Amino acid sequence: MADIDVEQVLNKLTVSDKVDLLSGIDNWHTKPLPAHGVPSLRLSDGPNGVRGTRFFNGVKAACFPCGTALGATFNLPLLNEAGRKMGDEAKAKGAHVILGPTINMQRSPLGGRGFESLGEDPVLAGLGAAALVNGIQDTGVQATIKHFVCNDQEHNRNAMQSIVTQRALREIYALPFQIAVRDAAPAAFMTAYNGVNGTYCSENSDLLDKILRKEWGWDGLVMSDWFGTYSTTDATNAGLDLEMPGPPKFRGELLRFNVATDKVPRHVLDDRARNMLNLVKKCAASGVPENAPETTDENTPETAALLRKIGVESLVLLKNKGGILPLRKDKKTVIIGPNAKTATYHGGGSASLAAYYAVTPFDGISAKLTTPPAYTVGSHSHKMLPLLGDQLTTATDDDTDTEIPGMTMRVYNDSPDVMTLAARECIDAIPLTKTELLLIDYNNPKLTSPLWYATLTGTLTAPATGTYQLSLVVCGTARLYVDDELVVDNATVQRQGDAFFGSSTLEEIGSIPVVAGQRYAIRVEFASAVTSKLVGNNVLFGGGTLRVGGVLQIDDPAAEIAHAAALARDADQVVICAGLNADWETEGYDRSGMDLPGHMDALIAAVAEASKGEVVVVMQSGTPVHMPWVDGVAGIVQAWYGGNETGNVIADVLFGDANPSGKLSLSWPRRVEDNPAFLNYRAEAARTLYGEDVYVGYRYYEFCRREVLWPFGHGLSYTTFGLGGLVVKTEGGEGDDDELKKELVVEVTVTNTGDVKGKEVVQVYVSPPKAVGGKVNRPLKELKGFAKTRELAPGESETVSVRVEVKYAGGYWDEVRDEWCVEEGRYGVVVGTSSKEGDGVVRGEFEVKETFWWKGL
C-alpha cells in the first residue's frame, strides 16, 4: 500500500471526494479514491482476536484470552507481546486497523460486555491498553481504542445517557483513555453508543474536541461504533471523522448538502478528511495491500505457545486450602461439569470468532493423566441449548462414505414448498461445525433476490437413551425436522427475543426420544430475513440469523447430581468445570444476577460434601459469579474465557506444570447487592445515574468497609513471597518546588520465600493526605502502578521499580477549576500483592510541598 502526501492529496480533493472518505462502503472497508492514490482500509473486530471480514463462516483466527483475563496478567511486557501477535494476526486477515482494545470500566459485575475490558481500575486498564496498542502499532497495523466513553452497560445502550459527575468522568471513565494516549498514541478512537450528560458521544464536542483533541493533544481518527452515528451536522462538527459501517446513513448526500449550505463549514470538512488521510498514511507501514486475502498463516506453534503463556499468566488461584493443588497425574480423577467438554473460549457479540482450534478442559486435563478420568455432566448451565453442530456429522461431497463433524448448509433461490429438494438448484454448499449463523455478510452472486432459502442437514448419533431437546432461534423463518417429522416450528408464530443483538426470535424448543447409538437425520429449513414475522430490529442483518441448538435432556436433575456425587466419593481427585458462556456474557444485554445457571450451585455443594471438601472448582466467567459453596471446597481457580489454549492452560496450572501468577482484575463481591452500582445499573427514562461517583470497585468496598469474597488484585501462588527494602522517593524537576515535573519512584525487593519457582505482582497504591481541610472526599487508596517480577527460583530476590508522575499519583479532578488538583501534604504509599491491607504490606510516604493544578497529559 503506497504512502501518500496528506496535504497534497487533500488540496486536490473535491468536496464530494472528501465526503466519500468519511463513511464506510460496507461493514469493514473505507472508501478508496484510486485517482488520488488513496486505498481502501480494512477494519476488523479485535477485543480478543482478529476476526477478519466475516461474521458468517469466517476464516479461522487466534483467539486470545478475554479482556479481564488479559488484565489479570498484570504483565505489561507480555501484553505488548500479545499486541504484536494481534498485529500479525491482522496482517493475516488483510486488516489495517484493529477495533480494540476495549477499556470501559466495569461499574457492576453484571455488564454484558464486562469480559471485554481489562478491569475495574483505570490505571490497570490504561497501562494495559497502552501496552497492547504499542504492540499492535509496532507491526504497522493501527489500533482503535474503545468505547469513548461510559459504555458500561448494554441495557438500552443506543438510547441512554450516562449521567456522571465531571470528577467521576475524569478520574474513572476517561482516565484509561488518557493514559493510553499519553503512553501509546492509538491511531483511532471509537465513540460509545450512549450519551454523556445529555449529548451522544458521537456528537459530543466536549469529549471529542475539548478533551480528546485540545486538552490531550491527540491527532488521530475518531470513528463511530457500528450504527452509533445519530446525526449529520452535529456529529461532523463535534469531531466524528468516520461513520461506520457503510453505506452511510448520515454522511453521503446528506453531508454534501449540509456542507453546501454551510451547516458544516469547509474547514471542518477538511479536518475530518485530513484525519482520515492521516490514518491511511499510518496504515501504509503495515505493508498490507488493499483488499488482501484472509489466511490462517499465523496458525503456528509459536502462536499457540504465546496464547498458552498468556493464558497461564491470566489464571487466578483464588483458594488452595490444604495445598490441594497442584493435583497428581497418577491419581484416580473424576471431571464433572458442563464446561468440561465444551471449549468455552470467548464471550459473545463482536468479540466472538472462529478459532483455529479450541482445547476443552476435559481434553487438557486428560492429556496430563496416566489413566483416563471418569466424567459426568452433573448439571447443565446453558441459557440457550448448546450449539448442535459439533454434536452431528455430515457427509462429504466426494462420493465416499466419509463423514465430518457438523452440518452441511445448501443454499437455494427456490422455496422447498415450490418444488422437491432434489429438483431445486443448489447454488452453494457450505460445511459448518458452528450452528450459530449471523448472515449479515453472506452473499452469493447466484442469489436472485433478498428472499432465499437454505437447507441444513446432519446426522445425530444418540450418546445415550433418553430425551433429546432441539431448538431454533432465527431472524427469518425456520423449521427443524428429525427423520422428516417436524419437531420445532419457528416460522408459523414468532416471538421477539434478544439474541443476535436483539434481532431474532426467542428460542423455540422441541424434543424427541432417542436410543443410545441410533442415528437420526436432522434437517433445518431456513428462509432469509425478509420472511421474518417480527416487528423488531431485524433490518441490520442482511440474510438473517439462525441458531440451531440441542442437548440430551437431564430428566432427573437430582439423580444426575447424586450420580456426580457418587463418582466424586470414589475418586482421589475431583475437578468441577463450571461457569458461564457466550450466551450469558455477551454484547446486547446484561446479566440479571450473579448466580450460576441451572443446578450448578447444588451440584458443586453436593460433590463437595461427598468428597469431604477435597474438590477443585475451575470457574470460567469473564466477570464475578455468586459462590455460596465457597467454604465447602478446597480449591478454586478463576480461568476466565481462555482462548484457543483454554484446556491446556487450565491443565498446566492444575497439575503444577505452571505456577499461577494472575491477579483479579475485578473485585469479587459476595452478593450482587453489595456492588456499588447495584441501585443504578439499568437505564430508566433513557438515562443511567452513576450514583456511586468515583467509588467504583475496590474504592467503594474499602471506603464503605464492605467485605468482599476476594479483593481486587488477589491471586495465590504455589510458592510464597516476601516484600522488603522499600524505597520511596521523588525525582526530577528543576527545583524543590517544581512539583509538576517530579516523578514518584517506588522500589521494593521481592523474595521467593517458598520452594517452587514463580512470579509475583507488586501493586503500588497511594493514599491521599490525612490533613484536615481537603476539598473533597477521596478513596482510601488508589492503584497508581504495578510490576510483575521475572520468574524467581526459591530463595531468589528481585528489586522492582514502579515510576509514576507525581501529578498522576496525587491528582483528583477539581470540578470548580476544571483541572487536576494535587493538594499539599504527605501522601501514603501502600505496596502489596493485592488491594487488601494486611500482613506482607510495606508502607512509605512522599510529600507535596505546595498545592498545584494541571491539565493535559
DSSP β-ladder status, 616-620 and 573-579: parallel
In this prediction, residue 540 carries a pLDDT of: 58
In this prediction, residue 338 carries a pLDDT of: 95
Cell triple for 790: 521475572
The mean per-residue pLDDT over the stretch 17-46 comes to: 97
CA triple 813-776-785, angle to 5 deg: 55
Closest CA to 686 of 113, 155, 112: 155
DSSP per-residue string spanning 311-358:
HHHH-EEEEEGGG--SPPTTS-EEEESTTSSS-----BGGG---BS--
Residue holding cell 488461584? 317
pLDDT of 421-432, one tens digit each?
567 899 999 999
| 770 — pLDDT class (breaks 50, 70, 90) | confident
Share of the chain above pLDDT 90, in %: 91
Question: Distance between CA atoms of 410 and 413, rounded to whole angstroms?
Answer: 11
pLDDT of 803-820, one tens digit each?
999 999 999 999 999 999
Contact status, residue 633 vs residue 604, Cβ threshold 8 Å: yes
pLDDT of 462-483, one tens digit each?
999 999 999 999 999 999 999 9
Q: In sequence order, which ranges of 112-232 are alpha helices (DSSP H)?
A: 122-138, 166-168, 175-184, 205
Tell me the residue type at 349: G
* For residue 588, pLDDT beyond 70: yes
Backbone angles phi, psi at 601, to 5 degrees: -65, -45
Average pLDDT of the chain is 95
Question: Distance between CA atoms of 175 and 199, rounded to whole angstroms?
Answer: 20
User: Percentages helix, strand, coil for the chain, rounded to the nearest 5?
Assistant: 25, 25, 45
In this prediction, residue 502 carries a pLDDT of: 84
Largest pairwise CA distance in the chain: 88
Residue 7 CA, distance from chain mean position: 38
In this prediction, residue 398 carries a pLDDT of: 62
* For residue 419, pLDDT beyond 90: no
* For residue 59, pLDDT beyond 90: yes
Question: Distance between CA atoms of 46 and 100, rounded to whole angstroms?
Answer: 5
* For residue 73, pLDDT beyond 70: yes
Cα distances from 828 to residues 697, 782, 831, in angstroms, run 20, 10, 10
* For residue 82, pLDDT beyond 90: yes
604: left (phi over 0), alpha (psi -120 to 50) or beta: alpha
Is 518 buried (19+), middle (13-18) or exposed (0-12) by CB count in 10 A? exposed
Domains annotated for the chain, with CATH where assigned, are 6-286 (3.20.20.300), 304-380+556-710 (3.40.50.1700), 384-552 (2.60.120.260), 721-854 (2.60.40.10)
420 vs 131, higher pLDDT: 131
In this prediction, residue 656 carries a pLDDT of: 98
424 vs 75, higher pLDDT: 75
* For residue 538, pLDDT beyond 60: no
Residues that are catalytic: 225
In this prediction, residue 496 carries a pLDDT of: 93
Question: Distance between CA atoms of 46 and 98, rounded to whole angstroms?
Answer: 5
The structure's pTM equals 0.96
Question: Distance between CA atoms of 793 and 829, rounded to whole angstroms?
Answer: 28
In this prediction, residue 420 carries a pLDDT of: 61
CA triple 692-178-159, angle to 5 deg: 55
Closest CA to 677 of 710, 706, 700: 700
Residue holding cell 496450572? 653
Q: Give kind and range of the element (H or E) at residue 636.
A: strand 635-638
pLDDT of 304-339, one tens digit each?
999 999 999 999 999 999 999 999 999 999 999 999
DSSP 505: B
pLDDT of 344-353, one tens digit each?
999 998 888 9
The mean per-residue pLDDT over the stretch 294-311 comes to: 98
List Cβ neighbours of 693 (8 Å cut-off, separation of 6 or more).
165, 167, 168
- Please state which of the ranges 61-75, 222-236, 417-431 shows the lowest mean pLDDT: 417-431
* For residue 768, pLDDT beyond 60: yes
- Please state which of the ranges 185-199, 537-551, 636-650 shows the lowest mean pLDDT: 537-551
pLDDT of 171-204, one tens digit each?
999 999 999 999 999 999 999 999 999 999 999 9
pLDDT of 356-396, one tens digit each?
999 999 999 999 999 999 999 999 999 999 999 989 999 97
370 vs 503, higher pLDDT: 370
| 775 — pLDDT class (breaks 50, 70, 90) | confident
In this prediction, residue 798 carries a pLDDT of: 98
Closest CA to 23 of 41, 45, 50: 41
Contact status, residue 666 vs residue 624, Cβ threshold 8 Å: yes
Closest CA to 810 of 835, 836, 778, 832: 778
The mean per-residue pLDDT over the stretch 76-82 comes to: 98
Q: Would you tell me how many other CB atoms lie within 10 Å of the CB of residue 201? A: 31
Cell triple for 85: 501477535
In this prediction, residue 771 carries a pLDDT of: 63
